[in-house]
Structure 1
Amino acid sequence: MARDPCNARQPGYIRIDDDTALHYRDWGDGVPLAFLSGWTLNADMWNYQCAPLAAAGYRCVAFDRRGHGRSSDPGHGYDYDTLADDLEAVLDARGLARVTLVGHSFASGEIVRYLSRHGARRVAGIVLLSPASTPCLLKTADNPGGLDASLFEASFDEMLASFPDWIERRAQAYFSPGTSRATIQWTADMMLGTSFHAAVQLSRAQMVTDFRRELAAIDVPALVLHGDCDASAPLEITGRPTAAALARATLNVYEGGTHGMYFNHAARVNEDIRAFVARWQA
């Protein structure tokens, strides 16, 4: 028998097509939660949510998006439409219904596009943690609060010159002061394990995608968790406008919170998720 390079016939993988298999984990039983990771991160970033929430009686499903972690790098499909379809494949394969989608950073856009593309028939609610893709990042005539294109291009040039150095320059600000070097290295290792092609393509997609109309059409309960010291996705550019654009959103602002709140504020994040789910799954 020929070897399957994606290990897609092994437990823990979902076959998408001939080129792509997605690695997932499915911990616990009970009310389902599906976790979508930040840009260049993978399911491991959610360890400090999935383990305690599974122990508390929730079913926690997390997966590595294509090109990330243990999933395939097919060299294509690094766009929001394909990622939304991948999410639908995961939810379908695991038989998830009345699920709460929890997304960090870049994944805010995946969740919005999923709801636009596949509807809310499976979804009870959404939690956007430190959203970084929504509503619209690029500064335009009708989006004066966005960021100038020159800032993105400078970042791309820096990434293309040396992604390890790009990460190192931003590492300290990503987490709360005093975070150990071991934790920072754990995160850098996840990022460097991601397909560089995927990282660049998805970063460009994030820059140019306008989610404002899609956000306005969402009618499921939403919780936005954002730190007021987030250097990667400033509260006033992404978090607060995202919450304002969602018809049924609550915004919780974490004083001193940075982009790495899933680690530095894990207990509070977990409790906020639990309270939100308890309210809307009743």
Structure 2
Amino acid sequence: MNTMDQTDRTFMKMHGLGNDFVVLDGRARKLAMTPALATALADRHRGVGFDQLAVIVPGAEVDAELIFYNADGSISAACGNATRCIARHLMDETGKTRLRLKAGARVLEARDAGQGLTSVNMGPPETHWQGVPLARAMETLELPIEGGPTATGMGNPHCTFFVADAEAVDLESRGPEIENHPLFPERTNVQFVSVTGENILRMRVWERGTGVTLASGSSSCATAVAAHRRGLTGPEVTIHLDGGEIRIRVTDEGVWMTGPTAHVFTGTLTDAFLESLT
């Protein structure tokens, strides 16, 4: 049923480095979110438009729990830039400088990094084939796919290709091909990455269930982990994406990502829009 009560219709539009989100606050109200409604909201011509949709709900022993939807209505267990955006919103709301947020099976720590930046620890990476997950047992450092990409789990699956020139890759063609590769039973996010300097990477992203995006937090974390595992960088990197710059630090306690966020506007869905979905 694609209907929402009058009190359910307010949403926030946010982005992190151009990776944009619709955010609904369900802490004080029950939201009737469905894959069909998420897909309708994702439409950039007839809806609001987003790369991912996030619903904030109450959580036990955490400041909040986050539920993510991709633009095709599928669920995603992780969305790093949306987590940073929501963390900043909750910090501004509560005055706290540290938060604990639950996303999927992970509890993530968020911090105010100063100068308007927000940091989130996305948790430890999964580098075993079952944790990514992959369809069968294999080494994840170099998959048996042309180009020898690295597989990483960051609460969601990632496939990272290291190439001479990320700009030259036909992302619209290669992205969906790899997203739906049979080695990835849950599909995968796809990154094409070039090393452009000491601990500096250029990355372009195809997100599972969404397509080309200007940035991706979890993809940035997976790329930093893959580059460090392959000896291409140290544990701290700066990644240049189509939407801007993000800093990633791989530690024993998890992968920290730090970057800017933006709350663009707050809006209200109309009766006519909701009724058009029934």
Between structures 1 and 2, the one with greater strand share: 2
TM-score over 0.5 for the alignment?
Answer: no
TM-score (norm 1): 0.32
Between structures 1 and 2, the one with greater helix share: 1
TM-score (norm 2): 0.32
